Amino acid sequence: MRRRAFLGSMSVAPVCAFAQQSSMPVIGYLGMGSRDAFNPRLIAFHKGLAAGGFVENQNVRIEYRWANDVAARLPALAADLVSRNVDVIATGGGPAPAMAAEAATSTVPIVFATPGSDPIELGLVTSVNRPTGNITGVGFLVSTISAKQIEIMGEAVPNAKLLGLLINPHNPNHAYYIKNVEEAENLLGRKVFIARAETEANLTAALANLVVQRVGALIAIPDVFFFRLREQLVSWASRNSIPGIYGSRDFPEAGGLMSYGTSIDDGYRQEGLYVSRILKGERPADLPVQQAVKIALVINLKTAKTLGLSIPITLLGRADEIIE
């Protein structure tokens, strides 16, 4: 179950010349959300670092900068990390931090993890096999996932004629999702109503509108904003008896019905491993952009029963994990 143009001649400073005359290399971590909300992803990132031989405060130091879901803060935070001469910048929480870091420096190595994004379309790299310049990272398969989510919801809730698609218009990749969903809408014969939210106030209004539209099911795109408010989303879906499918297992773990998507944690683990390789002296240009291709279907059977849904045995048989 389951690109930016060439930046010109440059040399990335050897990592052995550690910043600030310290015996430890320094990682700058630029995150879109908050430390607390992002902690599950940081755990995965640290596992990747450890697999490469680096443990925070033992043989590597990490400078964290968090935008707390305000994208406008990212350029200044990225510039601050560059001014501190960090050895490498890692980014998390979607494409926006990666784009801010890429705009802030053409010499400091950057490693991104961009769930739900195509790094070539975003202009981060020109090739996944041979990224040029100072940036590489991990991308996540999304081209077929939105369509597959609609298909899965059609199996689980066959009577749902109208599906609600929840997107964050500030997500640089939101148009990509809309395009894929519209194609799937035509192919699978399902109608999709699009609701947009980028703040908590917008989210409350968007969810209320979905109820007014009488959607029969919800699809929420992978986004750090929705991830932070996953318990609120899941609670709303439960109160309104609306089945939902999401991009990561965090949602069914919190009580949502289902998730279908690439393993976000596995992608951040790969990011940590790439950072460790750069700290050992490898260049970003020599590290192909990895694709997190581990896809999982997770079903919360307890939630299904609460919603009065009988999940088809064929769908249960394809699930990678069932929460009871």
Going by pLDDT thresholds of 50, 70 and 90, the confidence category of residue 114 is confident
Going by pLDDT thresholds of 50, 70 and 90, the confidence category of residue 116 is low
Instruction: Give the range with max mean pLDDT: 175-184, 214-223, 251-260.
Output: 251-260
For 25, 108, 132, 324, the CA distances from 9, given in Å and listed in that order, are 25, 14, 10, 56
Backbone angles phi, psi at 131, to 5 degrees: -65, 140
Count of C-beta atoms within a 10 Å radius of residue 86: 24
Residues 200 and 312 in one domain: yes
Q: What is the largest CA-CA distance in the chain?
A: 64
Task: Determine the Cα–Cα distance for residues 300 and 246; give it in Å rounded to an integer.
Answer: 12
Task: Determine the Cα–Cα distance for residues 243 and 22; give it in Å rounded to an integer.
Answer: 52
Average pLDDT, the chain: 87
Residues 174 and 240 in one domain: yes
Instruction: Tell me the CATH number at 305.
Output: 3.40.50.2300
Residues 167 and 301 in one domain: yes
Residues 152 and 172 in one domain: yes
Residue 23: per-residue pLDDT:
81
Going by pLDDT thresholds of 50, 70 and 90, the confidence category of residue 2 is very low
Computed from CA positions of residues 133, 80, 42, 263, in that sequence, does the dihedral angle turn out positive or negative? Answer: negative
Residue 14 placed within a domain: no
Token pair of 226, please?
Answer: 């929705």
The residue among 255 and 185 whose pLDDT is bigger is 255
Residue 43: give the domain boundaries: 19-140+264-294
Residues 287 and 300 in one domain: no
Residues 197 and 211 in one domain: yes
Which of 112, 102, 26 has the alpha carbon at shortest distance from 287?
112
In this predicted model, what pLDDT tens digit does every residue of 144-168 receive, in sequence order? 677 788 889 989 999 898 999 999 8
pLDDT of residue 91 exceeding 90 = yes
Going by pLDDT thresholds of 50, 70 and 90, the confidence category of residue 190 is confident
Residues 315 and 191 in one domain: yes
Residues 270 and 123 in one domain: yes
